[in-house]
Amino acid sequence: MKKIWAIMMALLMVFPVASCSGRGIRASGRQDDVDWVFYDNGELEISGWADMGNPISSDTYDWSNFQDYITKVTIKEGVMNVAAGAFSDCENLERVDLPYTITEIGRGAFSDCSKLTKIVLPENVEIIRDFAFAHCPNLSSINIPEKVDEIGYGAFGNRHDGSDLSDIYYAGTEEDWQYIFGVEDIPDEITIHYNS
């Protein structure tokens, strides 16, 4: 009996994800200081206690081979930023789950994600870089935490090209909003809701 129990425990340790969650692992690896796993169900999971790094383009991420199949991104607690271009051009990405440890959304991190409909930014986000959510036609609204003190050019589209976003829900006051670096570049057609 002890031998059977030992074998069962060994199998659970070798195959913990598949046996507990019902998801099969399609690929996995390490990118800079974070680990990633891509599952058969289209979910990409990023974990670690570090920055994601800042490679030059989305093509330099190990998971870019799967970008056409990614439908959900889950970043685990401990990861501190969403790197530049990390998920740009993930045309089938619909959902993103971010932990409270994220403080920065990198340049073009979610640009050209045509099926992205909703993202909730954690309350500790301070910086949203240029073009972070540019060209996301199904993203109609976004929440901006009160701690944000910089919004990059074209983060949600720009004054010249317009934006697909119609509403921004800002957690702070209208006066606080005026002190955020970069808000003057947010397209006029976006309605800002304060204290939201």
Strand order in the sheet with 167-170: 141-144, 167-170, 191-193
Structure tokens at 61: 């991420």
Strand order in the sheet with 118-119: 25-31, 34-39, 43-47, 72-75, 95-97, 118-119
Model pLDDT for residues 103-158, shown as the tens digit of each residue = 999 999 999 999 999 899 999 999 999 999 999 989 999 999 999 999 999 998 76
Pick the CATH number of 21-193 from 3.40.50.620, 3.40.50.300, 3.10.620.30, 3.80.10.10: 3.80.10.10
State the pLDDT confidence band at 62, using cuts at 50, 70 and 90: confident
Which residue's entry shows tokens 């955020």? 180
Q: Higher confidence at residue 169 or residue 156?
A: 169
Least confident of 29-38, 109-118, 139-148, 159-168: 159-168
* Closest to 151 in 3D by CA, of 169, 128, 121, 125: 128
Q: How far apart are CA 163 and CA 177, in angstroms?
A: 19
Q: Are 95 and 115 in contact (CB under 8 A)?
A: no
> Where do the domains of the chain lie?
21-193
Model pLDDT for residues 75-95, shown as the tens digit of each residue = 999 999 999 999 999 999 999
State the pLDDT confidence band at 39, using cuts at 50, 70 and 90: very high
Helix (H) or strand (E) holding 125: none
